[in-house]
């Protein structure tokens, strides 16, 4: 069978690395890169580091408004689908790339498989929530990472073509985990921090970066914390720091976004992780590092229920209190599968 995977952002590159590797053992696959993440550190670096096959198509859609970006992707993807006659379109996660590919395929009556289906934050103000709801309802097959995700679909009347396969990001983390200790030993001295004695922070969601008051509140909380903070700054975050004239204290170290393995190594050795990223919430859970989420809701409720993730929003007192909480008791990681999600997906056709 002929498949096409459509990706455009960091978490999707991680997912497609595992799925493509397994899928190509049984079928033919091409990759469309929409260019949603066009920065080298967020795009090509991942393809090289994770040995992802080079994209067959690179759309270079770049960053613009949601409507303009989705429209440009939709137009370009439609032309490729008309030309190539694929049997299935594979989409990943909840980005504009996911939505555009799903709409293009559905209108051409090409079946869609959604990998990482069933997630819900129940916050329709988030563009990602709109993208995943629409995608789940249009997809012919929904591959859920957890039982909670399957239950979300069932509540919306989606029961056909639904499978709980586990999380493909867990697959990838397990495959690189033996490299992390050595990588951390190389990284931490260069950053002048010690294992278990620093915080790792990421901020990139529009809800946290587009409003100056919100971004200043997050920066204020960072300044209040007493630990060294390693802050890999997404291009959007760096732009906000300059635009909003944000003053960060010396214990907050801005660095360029690291590669996938380096980022995992930094997470593994951190005392706590502060983030608004869905993927990093999961990775923190997999690595056994408590996470403080800079949002008031999450699509990964499993991490909160088990005590390993605290929803602190942007309130500095709540963030400081969350950082100070004791480390929770260990829990069963198998909530996210056995580490064979990509293989189960590839074998399902």
What is the residue extent of each domain of the chain? 2-164, 176-335
pLDDT at 225: 97
- Do 96 and 36 touch, CB atoms closer than 8 A? yes
289, pLDDT greater than 90: yes
Sorting pLDDT into bands at 50, 70 and 90, what band is 38?
low
CATH homologous superfamily of 2-164: Glycogen Phosphorylase B; (3.40.50.2000)
The H-or-E segment that residue 311 falls in is: strand 309-311
* C-alpha to C-alpha distance for 86 and 30, rounded to whole angstroms: 9
65, pLDDT greater than 90: no
pLDDT at 39: 62
**Range with the poorest average pLDDT among 37-51, 61-75, 156-170:** 37-51
- Do 296 and 341 touch, CB atoms closer than 8 A? no
Q: Does this chain's domain 2-164 share its CATH topology with 176-335?
A: yes
Sorting pLDDT into bands at 50, 70 and 90, what band is 333?
low
pLDDT at 157: 98
pLDDT at 42: 60
pLDDT at 85: 95
User: Which DSSP string corresponds to 196-235?
Assistant: TS-EEEE---HHHHSSHHHHHHHHHHHHH--S-EEEE--H
Angle value at C-alpha 228, between 265 and 234, nearest 5 degrees: 60
| Chain centroid, CA 35 distance in Å | 16
249, pLDDT greater than 70: yes
* C-alpha to C-alpha distance for 301 and 14, rounded to whole angstroms: 21
What average pLDDT score do residues 230-254 get? Answer: 94
What average pLDDT score do residues 66-74 get? Answer: 92
| Burial of residue 65 (number of CB atoms within 10 Å: 0-12, 13-18, 19+) | exposed
Sorting pLDDT into bands at 50, 70 and 90, what band is 40?
low
Answer with the residue of higher pLDDT: 281 or 206.
281
pLDDT at 66: 83
The per-residue pLDDT for range 256-283, each reduced to its tens digit, is 999 999 999 999 999 999 999 999 999 9
66 an active-site residue?
A: no
* Percentage of the chain exceeding pLDDT 70: 98
37, pLDDT greater than 80: no
The per-residue pLDDT for range 81-101, each reduced to its tens digit, is 999 999 999 999 999 999 999
* C-alpha to C-alpha distance for 80 and 60, rounded to whole angstroms: 14
DSSP secondary structure letter of residue 95: S
pLDDT at 64: 74
What pTM was estimated for this model as a whole?
0.94
What average pLDDT score do residues 300-304 get? Answer: 97
CA-based diameter of the chain, in Å? Answer: 57
What average pLDDT score do residues 293-314 get? Answer: 97
- Marked catalytic residue, from 192, 204, 216, 251: 204
pLDDT at 63: 72
41, pLDDT greater than 90: no
pLDDT at 16: 97
| Joined tokens for residue 223 | 């300044």
Sorting pLDDT into bands at 50, 70 and 90, what band is 297?
very high
189, pLDDT greater than 70: yes
Answer with the residue of higher pLDDT: 236 or 179.
179
Pick the CATH number of 176-335 from 1.10.357.10, 3.40.395.10, 3.10.110.10, 3.40.50.2000: 3.40.50.2000
Sorting pLDDT into bands at 50, 70 and 90, what band is 327?
very high
């Amino acid at each position: 069978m002929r498949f096409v995977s459509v990706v455009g952002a960091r978490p999707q590159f991680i997912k497609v690395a595992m799925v493509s590797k397994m899928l190509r053992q049984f079928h033919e696959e091409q990759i469309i890169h929409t260019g949603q993440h066009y920065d080298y550190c967020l795009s090509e670096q991942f393809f090289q580091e994770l040995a992802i096959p080079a994209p067959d198509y690179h759309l270079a859609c770049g960053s613009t408004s949601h409507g303009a970006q989705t429209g440009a992707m939709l137009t370009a993807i439609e032309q490729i689908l008309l030309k190539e006659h694929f049997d299935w379109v594979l989409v990943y996660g909840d980005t504009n790339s996911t939505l555009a590919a799903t709409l293009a395929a559905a209108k051409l009556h090409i079946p869609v498989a959604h990998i990482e289906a069933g997630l819900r934050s129940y916050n329709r103000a988030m563009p990602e929530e709109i993208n995943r709801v629409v995608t789940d309802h249009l997809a012919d097959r929904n591959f859920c990472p957890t039982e909670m995700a399957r239950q979300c679909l069932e509540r919306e009347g989606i029961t056909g073509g639904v499978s709980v396969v586990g999380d493909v990001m867990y697959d990838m983390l397990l495959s690189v985990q033996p490299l992390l200790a050595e990588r951390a030993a190389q990284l931490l001295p260069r950053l002048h921090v010690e294992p278990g004695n620093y915080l790792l922070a990421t901020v990139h969601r529009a809800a946290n970066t587009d409003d100056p008051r919100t971004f200043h509140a997050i920066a204020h909380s960072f300044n209040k914390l007493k630990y060294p903070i390693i802050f890999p700054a997404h291009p959007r975050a760096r732009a906000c720091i300059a635009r909003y004239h944000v003053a960060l204290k010396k214990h907050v170290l801005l660095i360029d976004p690291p590669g996938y393995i380096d980022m995992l190594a930094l997470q593994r050795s951190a005392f706590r992780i502060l983030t608004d990223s869905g993927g990093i919430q999961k990775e923190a859970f997999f690595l056994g590092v408590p996470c403080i989420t800079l949002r008031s809701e999450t699509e990964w409720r499993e991490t909160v229920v088990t005590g390993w993730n605290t929803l602190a929003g942007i309130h500095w007192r709540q963030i400081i209190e969350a950082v100070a909480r004791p480390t929770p008791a260990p829990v069963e990681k198998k909530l996210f599968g056995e580490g064979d999600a990509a293989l189960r997906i590839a074998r399902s056709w």
